[in-house]
Structure 1
Amino acid sequence: MMEAARERGLRDGGTRASFWLAWSLAGLCVAMFVASVPLLVLARSAHIPSSWEANLTVGNLLGGAPFLIFPLVGALIASRRPRNAIGWILLADGLLWMFLGMTDYYAVYGVARPGSVPFPVGVAGINNFMWVPAVGLLGTYVFLLFPDGMLPSGRWRPLAWLSGLVIVLLCIGVGLAPGPLQNLGGIRNPFGLEGYPWVETATYIVLPLLPMCMLASVFSLVIRYRRSRGEERQQIKWIAFAASYVGLLYLIAMVFAFVFPSGAWFQPGSPLWLDLLGYAALISFTLVPIAVGFAVLRYRLYEIDIIINRTLVYGSLTISLALVYAGLVVSLQFLFRALTGGDSQLVIVASTLVIAALFNPLRRRIQSFIDRRFYRSKYDARKTLEEFGARLRDETDLDSLSEDLVGVVREAVRPAQVSLWLRPPGRIDTNEELRP
């Protein structure tokens, strides 16, 4: 009895410690983001080269705000499920993203105003390689350990060790590679080993191993899904939905990248919608921790099938309409230019009207295709009920209706057995009042 009470006390104490640690780290992330605001203002007020100004925009700062979801969801999971490694990984990833954003402005301001802050070039050198663990942790261990914080089996342990080794080697390689710093053009890496170019070569050799580890981690999630049942399968669907949505947005961004040069993105004078698409693709990464939080904490898991269905439909519809629109604009402008020697806004208007006319017919066709391809049983059941409803309007024979109803239930629901009971005509309902 005393031993059980002692164990319970230790467990409660550990839970409280985990709670305070998790939310303290989340608070640190928020503090780093808040500190980024005055650092951005100070950096913009300094005299800096024009090549450094690309990262000193308000849009860039606001684009980092959604990444606070990483530490907040991580703290929520770690405080409630302290033994689940997923929460602590999201917290670590949040710290890394916030550190990257804050130190960008810190380094620029420190270099532009010498003596204003300590070690600005050294901080920039650390910032130069911190993207590796930020991307690596999210792309490998979150997928490898989801949803319970454990490996699918002991056979995946070598991949876990290899992923950690690759992340460490890349941090060392990028950190020690000689050359200019990415965000401070003209200033060389303070930790770079000048005279040892093989360091950069070795880093490029190791670099492809990181996406390979990411793909292997995603494959482990596929294996886990095939072996899972019930709630765990629904949990995996959440993160699969998030990853698919990220891929969809980047695919759309890549399509438009062929139409618009990369230099036009996030530049003064670039179209607003193009910048919004770029920010949407970047911020879509935050869907992963949101999906993880919903799945691990088991909030409304079973609505994910509806969300996936709608995403497939409207994602396919968006890509199709975007391709049609781009094709119409390019081809009609080319034709109009050949005939008149100039561009016309009429082409934009006509293309928009065509897209509006295609929306509903194309949506219905895509919905029907997706239902047939991915939701066959539900599609067949719905078609069966629709056919029965059509027959019901014309059928008057009770025996035929009974046979049809039993057949519909057997085909749509597929029960182990089915029977139909009808009250005999003329039988008195005992709930009705008897009249003399």
Structure 2
Amino acid sequence: MSQGLRVGVVVGVLATYVTLSLGAMVLGSPSELGFILPLTIAFLASPAIGAMIVVRRPDNRIGWLFCGMGLAFGAFIFAQSYSYSAIRGGWPGLPQAAWVAQWAFLLFILPGVLLFVLFPSGRLPSRRWLLPVAVAVAAALVTGIGQAFGPAVFETELIDSFTSEVTTWAVPNPFPVPASLSPAFTTAAEVGNTVLVGVAVFFALSMVVRLRRAQGIERQQLKWFVLATVTIGFLVPISILLSGTLADVAWVFGMSALGAGLPIAAGIAILRYRLYDIDLLINRTLVYGALTVILAALYVALVLGLQLLVSPLTGNEIFPVAISTLAIAALFGPVRRRVQATVDRRFYRSTYDARRTVEAFAARLRDEVDLASLSSELLVATRATVQPASASIWLRERAP
């Protein structure tokens, strides 16, 4: 694949994701933005980092998997939001949108599962992993088919992110199997889902074994991915065990961790250990990925907090959303600078130290007039920044 074609594919992936996500936010009501906005921002990390990897290393499957996860999530959240709007407004296409939402989520769950065995090289550790991977793909396929064609009616839930009120709607399946086959399809979907979860847990645990056996750079790369996996494994069960508003918040954080945690962990490994030699691009992606996660968390906290404090007094649901949006816009610049400084200090230490050394030298230069002192200061700054094998200063003498 030529460089131009790869760039075209990348632009198409990002444009499609942004279009679907913006459409989902436009279709969603103010009470649903508390769910849609953080998830959309978090999952932007997948196509962004995936696109950068595809441009530089199209032969590595990691980039394509991240791109696929982003597109699948965009399609899922758009179909879900359209379903909600169609229920409220009586729009056409409700059954078809609900049908897509039933299985589209598997298209970003399956790549996430496969990442556990393909990272960091994009290849399986050995041929013995072909069978577990085939089982995972088959389980996802069976689950998707069972959920798409088995039920005669889909139960679609509308969740108010402000009050946690759940309204259930029955939507007819536009493509149902005969009634006699429906129980078999439903059972197959349940079995497939159970197998997929089991394989995902197996793959995640296998990373610990691979981490213990790995050496050198690969070991350091896997550490970041294991950290992201443990975080996701901690947040998702909490969202299941909790109830009410806390469960909704935990669910948003759990899914945001799934959408942003894995690509950000991959980005850190790429940046810190130069896996794909795209350090500068990943530096910027890492900064904005972390920035979006932080701002999304602040947005959710502000919306929920203001809703609890202000809505009982004003009865207005849009006011907390508007205030939270303005606050996030005001915080963007300061938070971005803080995150950029943290990333540079942690992962670009030499560049960060060199910049600080030059700034300190420039500050001293303003107050120094002695030529010998200036020469000494210049040598010190040069050694600290570029670390030459030797350094000296030659000053041309004035002609008599």
User: Is TM-score (shorter-chain normalized) higher than 0.5?
Assistant: yes
Task: State the match for 2:298 in structure 1.
Answer: none
**Are 1:168 and 2:141 an aligned pair?**
yes
- Please state if 1:38 is matched with 2:12: no
Q: Describe how 1:388-399 pairs up with structure 2 within 5 A.
A: none
Paired position in structure 1 for 2:287: none
Give, as a single letter, the amino acid of the residue that structure 2 aligns with 1:281.
Answer: G
User: Structure 2 CA distance, aligned partners of 1:181 and 1:279?
Assistant: 23
* TM-score where L is the length of structure 2: 0.59
2:184 aligned with 1:198? yes
The one of 68, 77, 94 aligned to 2:44: 68
- The residue matched to 1:280 in structure 2 has which SS? helix
Distance (Å, rounded) in 2 between the aligned partners of 1:32 and 1:254: 28
Matches within 5 A, 1:36-435: 36-41=24-29, 57-64=32-39, 65-114=41-90, 116-117=91-92, 119-139=93-113, 141-183=114-156, 185-195=169-179, 196=181, 197-250=183-236, 257=242, 262=243, 264-265=244-245, 276-285=249-258, 286-298=260-272
CA distance in 2, matches of 1:60, 1:206: 27
**Contact kept in structure 1, 2:142 and 2:188, CA below 8 Å:** no
Give secondary structure in 1 for the equivalent of 2:44.
helix
| TM superposition shift of 1:93 | 0.8
Q: Which residue of 2 aligns with 1:389?
A: none
CA contact (8 A) 2:76 2:100 kept: no
Alpha-carbon deviation of 1:216? 2.6
How far apart, CA to CA, are the structure 2 residues paired with 1:288 and 1:177? Answer: 32
The code of the aligned residue for 1:265 comes to: T
5+ residue gaps, structure 2 = 158-168, 276-400
State the AA in 2 paired with 1:86.
I
Give how far 1:230 is off: 0.7
C-alpha separation in 1, matches of 2:190 and 2:249: 32
Instruction: Check 1:151–1:297 CA distance in 2 against 1; reply closer, same or farther (3 A cut).
Output: farther
Equivalent position of 2:318 in the other structure: none
Do the aligned partners of 2:13 and 2:47 also contact (CA within 8 Å) in 1? yes
1:111–1:121 Cα contact (<8 Å) kept? no
Partner-residue secondary structure (3-state), 1:187: strand
CA shift, 1:215, in A, is 2.2
Shift in Å, 1:146: 0.6
Is residue 150–residue 177 contact of structure 2 (8 Å, CA) maintained in 1?
Answer: yes
How far did 1:145 drift?
A: 0.6
Q: Give the Cα separation in 1 of the matches to 2:103 and 2:239.
A: 26
Q: Which of 7, 10, 14 is the matching residue for 1:26?
A: 14
Distance, in Å, in 1 between the alignment partners of 2:273 and 2:14 is 22
Deviation per CA, 1:42-100: give whole Å up to 9, x if none. xx7xxxxxxxxxxx522012222211111111112222221110111111111111111
Larger relative contact order (C-alpha < 8 A, sep ≥ 6)?
2
The answer (yes or no) to whether the contact 2:146–2:188 under 8 Å persists in 1 is yes
- % same residue: 27
Q: Give how far 1:294 is off.
A: 2.1
Aligned match of 1:315: none
Structure 1 position 169, deviation (Å) = 1.4
Give the AA of the match of 2:111.
L
Asked whether the equivalents of residues 178 and 194 of structure 1 are also in contact (C-alpha less than 8 Å), the reply is no
Structure of greater Rg: 1
CA 1:277 to 1:109, structure 2 compared with 1: closer, same or farther past 3 Å?
closer
Q: Distance in 2 between matches of 1:240 and 1:192?
A: 41
Distance 1:14 1:86, change over 3 A: same
Q: Secondary structure at the match of 2:2?
A: helix
Deviation at 1:136, TM superposition (A): 2.1
Partner of 1:403: none
CA distance in 1, matches of 2:9, 2:189: 35
* Matched AA of 1:287: G
